[in-house]
């Protein structure tokens, strides 16, 4: 399911419901089928998202750029479980943060809509 967030002034962002759910939990919003981020709510929402992104960055260890290949290890045997998450919170939150920044600067609000509660 998709969640469409539409700014009254600055465009839209579309997220998968599972990712929108995580972002809304961070912000403190219920994951209802429809809702609004009022202009007064945007500064706190952006601050919460930025704080969560910084927290994730601090908690995530740096991966060595060059990892030695283990003897007898075939790259074809690699599974997704062996790989770090390729898309982190920062990449998921940034489009929403930018939409919120632009909307706040232009004095607007953001509506969201999904097929059902998520």
What are the average pLDDT values for consecutive 10-residue runs of the chain, which has 118 residues? 97 97 98 98 98 90 51 52 70 97 98 97
Q: Determine the pLDDT at residue 84.
A: 57
pLDDT of residue 57: 87
- Would 69 be classed as within a structural domain? no
Buried b (16+ CB within 10 A) or exposed e, 30-62: ebeeebebeeebbeebbebbeebbeeeeeeeee
In a domain, 80, yes or no: no
pLDDT at 7: 98
Q: 21 in a domain, yes or no? A: yes
- For residue 37, the Cα-to-chain-centroid distance in whole angstroms is 16
Domain-embedded: residue 40? yes
Show the domain range for 102. 2-59+85-114
pTM for this predicted structure = 0.77
Residue 78 lies in a domain: no
Asked whether residue 64 is domain-assigned, the answer is no
**How many folded domains does the chain comprise?**
1
Cβ atoms of residues 95 and 20 within 8 Å: no
Give me the pLDDT at residue 94, please: 97
């Amino acid at each position: 399911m998709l969640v469409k967030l539409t700014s009254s002034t600055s465009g839209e962002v579309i997220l998968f419901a599972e990712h929108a759910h995580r972002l809304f939990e961070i912000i403190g919003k219920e994951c209802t089928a429809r809702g609004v981020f009022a202009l007064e709510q945007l500064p706190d929402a952006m601050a919460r998202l930025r704080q969560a992104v910084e927290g994730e960055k601090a908690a995530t260890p740096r991966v060595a750029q060059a990892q030695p290949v283990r003897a007898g290890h075939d790259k074809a045997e690699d599974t997704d479980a062996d790989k770090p998450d390729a898309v982190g919170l920062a990449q998921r939150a940034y489009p929403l943060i930018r939409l919120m920044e632009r909307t706040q600067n232009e004095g607007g609000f953001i509506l969201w809509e999904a097929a059902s509660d998520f």
